[in-house]
Structure 1
């Protein structure tokens, strides 16, 4: 965060904090991101994740790489698709169906 002097504030408020850097990048990502549904099998059991990707990302390739890094050959990607409006609202509200073996939904 950058600190900038302000001459228009009262004597008790001598400094104004202006957010910069990563805060702006995060806001831009949030505005342009799309929620995707990632279905995969972990040790033969179906799993579903919701994940946000930027407009120029390749969700299929990124999830293939992520699952390979995390689980090696124990996970197989089944599908990657854009979430429907209803699924995205459920996800944002924390109301999406959870995996019975993992209450966090992962």
Structure 2
């Protein structure tokens, strides 16, 4: 039996307010494109267990998209990002997964 990422995120009971600021910030978007995407082939799309990071093609250009509402607060991006370019901070209001109910 297997589960897809988004079903697993749903099971974590993750809750983020819709209007809260994004708690995952990219320090230098140019570096993210030049290095994380062009050199390392976008490992963030693979190391994040919740599928928070995506490279989306828009008008022939790859754009880095952060789906912070899916974050399960594992801090893998803080550890695995090859350039330490993603800054993880606790979300405003303390929202996130409800691990105690799992």
Instruction: State the TM-score, normalizing by the size of structure 1.
Output: 0.30
Instruction: State the TM-score, normalizing by the size of structure 2.
Output: 0.31
**Structure with more relative contact order (C-alpha pairs < 8 Å, separation 6 or more):** 2
Q: Give the structure with the larger strand fraction.
A: 1
